[in-house]
Structure 1
């Protein structure tokens, strides 16, 4: 908008100079010069910067015409203004750069010719050539200032955009650093809790167990020798030690549960098999946020055993591990799309068979190996059930662990 306002002022100045001493004979040339200059200004506004060089040539053409038609010099301020604003696409060759810069200043030629005529121009007052020269130089300077202001504004915008971009990147990095620091602190805290629980279990627990056995032995000896008072004392001591053992066991299991990051433990079990063979990937769908430490260890072990079975005895390119948290139980499903590698009955001890060759339940039971037996043993130890077998062309391991025994205190459930 500022450029249009400046152009309007220069057009008004040109009309004022052209009509300062009007002549009927030169009026057509004056009108033609006015129309051509306005058309050129419109081209500069509409076509720049894609056609900067050709606009420069057009401005040079107007300057040449102004030499032939001095009345056109009244509108040279507008031409000089637009020539200064026309973008120049300078060539790498030196001679071409010189030509382009010369074309941008060719409007000086008609001014020199106008001044050399010493006011002998039909339709111009004697002082008009000097005023035209001054206004033209002012218009060119104004156009150069407009270009410089535009360049500085664009540079400022780019600098601000770059600063905002750098600020966003810095905030993202700081957020990542904060998350990593929080994760490291949490892992260190969990590790320390696990270490404390292990030391209590290994040291204090063994000492209390020995003291309980000594109290029971003393009570047995007192009963055998007929010392009822001593027997009662040993019995009371044994009860106290048993209560202490129960409290320590609860504390150890509480620390162990707090020191177990269920999500990280499951993710580690899954991701350890991602990419273990060419083109093989594992997809994890974890709907369990937290679980007791024994449950977490059991599920992680079952996942590792199941994925190991898939890698060794299946041609599947993908396996899916799904964990669901129901109100009464936790559920784990590990499934691959198959097919089996047809390794035969001696299948590495995992019990993996192909669904296309599966017969009766007795056939499947006869092919059970150490891998499936280990899964079943671990699941049964927590009161759960497991089902392993062919499913939809592949193989599925289905595990369900009840929450009933964990509704009590975890240490009581493990006794």
Structure 2
């Protein structure tokens, strides 16, 4: 039972009992109770209850709005605040709630930044080990296999060549994984080249037709913003390959006066009512770190569209 109905029923009980005592007790307006007096008192009771309900509804409306705000607030979509209204106690409660949201959003942003920084450092370390340790070991194995295959008899040579080819494919796969963990091309050649390399890789290994369209040149956004753009594009394309069943993807990067817009739209079956998974939540957290806006929509034609808007750096023209 809501607070409104508890207070209303309590007041109503008191009023009904008072009216009953007045009607049935020894002290009444007249004895026996006249019908007109009973009607007048009943009408008065209804009027009091109605006025009481209206006043309670108005007085508790700010609490109802606060309850709705509490149930709908999402820290991954910051800026949602309850309207401060009502009398002093209720207004203080709403103000305290908004202050708590400010603190929670700031603490979540700080902890997310630390977690994502640690994640990127770990990815960089694993990629380096894959390249230096596993990659060099497999390269040495390939050289040994080639040396042995050159000296082996015919039937055995065929088997060794097959093993050599399998080892070479494994080496290429490890190098591809290392590039995904640490996009060196992003640091060396810039955002546009890194995104083009990403689309070529997805097209080659996933059988997905990616149609890129990039504005040139793209303004310098800073290392953190460019990494967020790349990771959001990478996660979006990975989700398309794993979950959407799409065959084509439109991949656009546009420069606007307000910043840079990234759009990835597929022709798959869409997200429907499925809950957002860890990948999408991770994209939202990355976007929050640089003050970007991330939206996932279902276009009327079907599929899913991911839109990331990265604001222009301060002081840029």
Q: Which has the larger radius of gyration?
A: 1
Alignment TM-score > 0.5, same fold: no
Q: Scaled by the length of structure 1, what TM-score is found?
A: 0.29
Q: Scaled by the length of structure 2, what TM-score is found?
A: 0.38
